[in-house]
Amino acid sequence: MENKEKFQPYIPADRVTPEITVTSIVMGVILAVVFGAANAYLGLRVGMTVSASIPAAVIAMGVIRVIMKKNSILESNIVQTTGSAGESLAAGAIFTIPALFLWAKEGVMDKPGIIEITLIALIGGLLGVFFMVPLRNALIVKEHGVLPYPEGTACAEVLLAGEEGGSNASTVFAGMGFAAVFKFIIDGLKAVPGEVSLRFKGFAGEIGTQIYPAVMSVGYICGPRISSYMFAGGVLSWMVLIPLIVVFGSSIVMYPSADLTIGEIFAADGAAGIWSSYIRYIGAGALAAGGIISLIKSLPLIINTFKGALKSMKAGGSTDNSRTSSELSMKVVLISIAVLTLLVWLIPAIPVSLIGALIIVIFGFFFATVSSRMVGLVGSSNNPVSGMAIATLLIATLILKFTGAQGAEGMSAAIAIGSIICIVAAISGDTSQDLKTGYILGSTPKKQQIGEIIGVCAAALAIGGTLYLLDTAWGFGSAELAAPQATLMKMIVEGVMSAKLPWDLVLVGALIAVVVEIIGIPVLPFAIGIYLPVQLNACIMIGGIIRGIFDKMKFGGDEAKKKNITNDGILFCSGMIAGEGLVGILLALLAVFGVDSVIDISGKIGLPSVVTEIGSLVVFALIILSLLKFSIWKKPSAQKAEQKAK
Using the CB atoms, write b or e for 228-265: b if 16+ within 10 Å: bbbbbbbbbbbbebbbebbeebeeeebeeeeebebeeb
> Quick one: which of 551, 578, 566 has its CA closest to 50?
578
pLDDT of 140 strictly over 80: yes
| CA separation for the pair 578, 217 (Å, rounded) | 10
Element at 589 (helix H, strand E): helix 559-592
Record the pTM. 0.79
Position 482 scores a pLDDT of 84
Q: What φ, ψ does residue 378 adopt, rounded to 5°?
A: -115, 0
Q: Which residues 6+ apart lie within 8 Å of 501 measured at CB?
A: 281, 491, 494, 495
The residue count of the chain comes to 646
pLDDT > 70 in the chain, percent: 90
Q: Which residues 6+ apart lie within 8 Å of 455 measured at CB?
A: 28, 29, 32, 81, 82, 83, 84, 85, 86, 89
Do 82 and 454 contact (CB within 8 A), yes or no? yes
User: Which one-letter DSSP state was computed for residue 601?
Assistant: -
Position 163 scores a pLDDT of 64
Averaged confidence pLDDT in the chain: 85
**Span 170-199, pLDDT tens digits:** 888 899 899 999 999 998 999 999 999 998
322 or 626: which leads in pLDDT? 626
Helix/strand/coil (H, E, C) string of 62-92? HHHHHHCCCCCHHHHHHHHHHHHHHHHHHHH
User: Which one-letter DSSP state was computed for residue 137?
Assistant: I
How does residue 121 score in pLDDT terms, banded at 50, 70 and 90? very high
> Quick one: which of 548, 571, 569 has its CA closest to 225?
548
Position 447 scores a pLDDT of 95
pLDDT > 90 in the chain, percent: 36
| CA separation for the pair 127, 460 (Å, rounded) | 13
Q: Among the listed ranges 282-286, 297-301, 456-460, 638-642, which one has the minimum average pLDDT value?
A: 638-642
**Span 283-313, pLDDT tens digits:** 888 888 887 887 787 677 667 766 765 665 5
